[in-house]
Amino acid sequence: MHRARKRFGQNFLHDQGVISGIVAAIRPREGEHLVEIGPGMGAMTEPLLEGCKAMDAVELDRDLIPGLRAQFAVQGGLTLHNADALKFDFCALATDGRPLRVVGNLPYNISTPLIFHLLGQSHCIQDMHFMLQQEVVDRLAAGPGNGDYGRLGIMVQYRCRVEKLFTVPPGAFNPPPKVYSAIVRLTPYAEPPVAAKDDRLLAQVVTTAFQQRRKTLRNNLKKLLPVDTIEALGIDPARRPETLTLEEYVRLADALYQTNHSPR
């Protein structure tokens, strides 16, 4: 019996009702290209594979690989990659033109960097269904004025439609974590709802704005944009970063773009 490893952030899902709910939300179908991150002991892999007939799985813990190979030897259709998902080239799997459907019970300690890693490859992804710490899902889905609203939610909502599906209690896992989890669906947009002139500048503006949440835009953005530029956009420099919409952040980023590209 494999013991969950703390350094890999392992909490194995075992509740069949929760597993069925996740699979029903994903609705895997034959011919679709599913990729599971962290299959663990295969609890979710088996019902997913029944639906899509063939899929890939990325597992970091090499001690789990032999068990997974043995478990799915008869059923077939599972291609295992012993690799770190944070460094994995997911788009390399999408060589046949089928967009990827990415699924995973993500370790809490890598969930945010892994989501950003996948956003960088969103052009080859149809959708993503993740089990995450509930507070992370709340941050992903939060809107302006909400205490959970910040850099993570803004940058993910720029790239994807975010849907919180349902919560999962600690007892659904072995060992049980100390917090509730939740299932989220992220569906990448073909084009952002409000496109910035430079995505990297948008990320820079949002990151800088939230470095000190309690301070105003005037203070947080003073090294990037002068007050009169912010005011000219119809945005009050005395506002705090959590009150701005995605569209307002794009306007700020585009103003920075204009400043950077104007003749000296």
Domain boundary residue, one of 130, 165, 188: 188
pLDDT in tens, the chain (264 residues): 444 444 444 577 888 999 999 999 999 999 999 999 999 889 899 999 999 999 999 999 999 999 999 999 988 999 999 999 999 999 999 988 899 999 998 888 899 999 999 999 999 999 999 999 999 999 999 999 999 999 999 999 999 999 999 999 999 988 888 899 999 999 999 999 999 999 999 999 999 999 988 899 999 999 999 999 999 999 999 999 999 999 999 999 999 999 988 776
Hey, CA dihedral for 242, 248, 250, 253, is it positive or negative? negative
Q: What is the pTM of this model?
A: 0.92
Does residue 193 lie within any of the structural domains?
Answer: no
Whether residue 228 sits in one domain with residue 110: no
Backbone angles phi, psi at 20, to 5 degrees: -60, -40
Structure tokens at 99: 């967009």
Whether residue 182 sits in one domain with residue 244: no
Does residue 194 lie within any of the structural domains?
Answer: no
The SS3 call for residue 134 is helix
The H helix count followed by the E strand count for the chain is: 10, 9
Residue 85 in contact with residue 58, Cβ under 8 Å? yes
Report CA-CA distances (Å) from 86 to 89, 90, 117. Answer: 9, 10, 7
The amino acid that residue 102 corresponds to is V
Report CA-CA distances (Å) from 236 to 94, 207, 208, 239. Answer: 45, 19, 17, 6
Whether residue 79 sits in one domain with residue 151: yes
Instruction: State how many domains the chain has.
Output: 2
Distance (Å, rounded) from C-alpha 90 to C-alpha 116?
13
Whether residue 158 sits in one domain with residue 118: yes
